[in-house]
Chain A
Amino acid sequence: DTAVSQTPKYLVTQMGNDKSIKCEQNLGHDTMYWYKQDSKKFLKIMFSYNNKELIINETVPNRFSPKSPDKAHLNLHINSLELGDSAVYFCASSQDEGMNTEAFFGQGTRLTVV
């Protein structure tokens, strides 16, 4: 039983393409996130949704568009992919948006843009 699952695990695509990464959590959490881990290993938050409502929207290009059809799903769509988008993208969830709550991460999607 995978708590936070994201697909695909690996994604290799050409510049200019549009791609989506899907994420689902079966923990009953209210808050979901997308993080990006670049080649220097920094994990940076991109978006946060609480009960399908956008809470955090960091300074990311508007080519990145999250979509939350329900509180158990948070998908990430990326338009016009660029070489610099190559990274590992992690989906995560937590019980609520308050303090001291553990974030559970998916296994990551390794995106390579060629």
Chain B
Amino acid sequence: RKEVEQDPGPFNVPEGATVAFNCTYSNSASQSFFWYRQDCRKEPKLLMSVYSSGNEDGRFTAQLNRASQYISLLIRDSKLSDSATYLCVVDQGGGYNKLIFGAGTRLAVHP
């Protein structure tokens, strides 16, 4: 089983749609969870951290379910500029900031 698994997509959605990405992780010792965004041929950038209580940043909502080892990202009112690859990122645990990246889910928002 991969350490971090994501549906690679692509998700093709019209502007204004709501889209959800899911991610599962294998290491129950993981403590830190993130969503990163990577545009084509660019570096990854932090989109948001994911907290146990769930958190929201504008149109973006992240949820964490530790029991199921499952993380989600919800994007409401999709914009063309949201088109990118979304990377689920989990720390390996053990006290070091060793980040394990999922392969990413590609989102394409069309007019």
Contacts and interface: CB of A to CB of B under 8 A. Distances in A.
B46 A103 contact: yes
B32 interface: yes
Q: Is the interface of A mostly helix, strand, loop or mixed?
A: loop
B43 A107 contact: yes
B46 A102 contact: yes
Interface string A30-64: 01000100001111110010000001100000000
B43 A108 contact: yes
- Chain A interface size, under 10 / 10 to 19 / 20 to 34 / 35 or more: 20 to 34
Contact of A100 (B32, B42, B96): B32
Interface residues of B, number: 22
Interface in A100-114: 100-103, 105-108
A35 B44 CA distance: 11
Interface in B2-34: 31-32, 34
Contacts of B97: 31, 48, 94, 96-99, 101, 103
A54 to B, nearest CB: 12
A40 to B, nearest CB: 7
A105 B49 CA distance: 16
B45 A105 contact: yes
Interface string B89-111: 00100011111110110000000
A1 B65 CA distance: 38
Interface of A: 31, 35, 40-45, 48, 55-56, 90, 94, 96-103, 105-108
Interface of B: 31-32, 34, 41-46, 49, 85, 87, 91, 95-101, 103-104
Closest 10 CB pairs of A and B: A105-B43, A43-B101, A100-B32, A102-B46, A99-B32, A97-B97, A99-B31, A42-B103, A105-B44, A107-B43
